[in-house]
């Protein structure tokens, strides 16, 4: 890969992070969930249930970090903890009706924001960008 291409990617990622940071600081535009809560709820919802260890591996985080984050979700009533019948120390989390509603509200707010920002893009451009972004994220 050419250095020029890498430099473009590096710079554009830095700019993207700046834009995302500005969006996140204005929470009224993206719902009530912070990024970590939203991602955890999306992953638990997608899987049906998930344990702390699996979530930590998927997000490349420490188990203690995910444990703290899932405990916060549990305290808000967004997930319920189910003990693992085979291992008394382990548990999995399932999304509650309230958690599903908060997640969907946040997802819709995010989609609305993206729709507005990408209104000049063609369907082909958005499909290509989505595929490339997914490929990029999978490399990690």
3-state secondary structure at position 68:
helix
Can you give the pLDDT at residue 23?
Answer: 67
**Is 60 exceeded by the pLDDT of residue 113?**
yes
* Contact (Cβ atoms closer than 8 angstroms) between residue 82 and residue 94: yes
Quickly list DSSP for 9-48. HHHHHHHHHHHHHHHHHSGGGT-S--HHHHHHHHHHHHHS
Can you give the pLDDT at residue 93?
Answer: 96
Residue 112 and residue 102: Cα distance in Å, rounded? 15
What mean pLDDT is predicted for residues 47-70? 94
Can you give the pLDDT at residue 35?
Answer: 85
Residue 49 and residue 44: Cα distance in Å, rounded? 5
Dump pLDDT digits (tens) for 76-89: 999 999 987 777 77
Dump pLDDT digits (tens) for 122-139: 999 999 999 999 999 889
Can you give the pLDDT at residue 32?
Answer: 78
* Contact (Cβ atoms closer than 8 angstroms) between residue 84 and residue 78: no
Dump pLDDT digits (tens) for 24-42: 666 555 667 888 999 999 9
């Amino acid at each position: 890969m050419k250095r020029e291409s890498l430099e473009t990617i590096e710079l554009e990622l830095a700019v993207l992070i700046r834009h995302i940071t500005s969006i996140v600081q204005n929470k009224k535009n993206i719902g009530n969930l912070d990024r970590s809560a939203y991602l955890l709820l999306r992953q638990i919802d997608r899987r049906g249930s998930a344990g702390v260890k699996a979530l930590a591996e998927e997000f490349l985080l420490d188990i203690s970090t995910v444990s703290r984050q899932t405990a916060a979700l549990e305290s808000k009533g967004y997930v319920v903890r189910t003990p693992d019948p085979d291992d008394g120390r382990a548990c999995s989390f399932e999304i509650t009706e309230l958690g599903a509603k908060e997640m969907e509200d946040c997802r819709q707010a995010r989609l609305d924001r993206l729709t507005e920002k990408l209104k000049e893009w063609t369907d082909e451009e958005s499909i290509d960008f989505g595929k490339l972004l997914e490929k990029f994220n999978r490399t990690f």
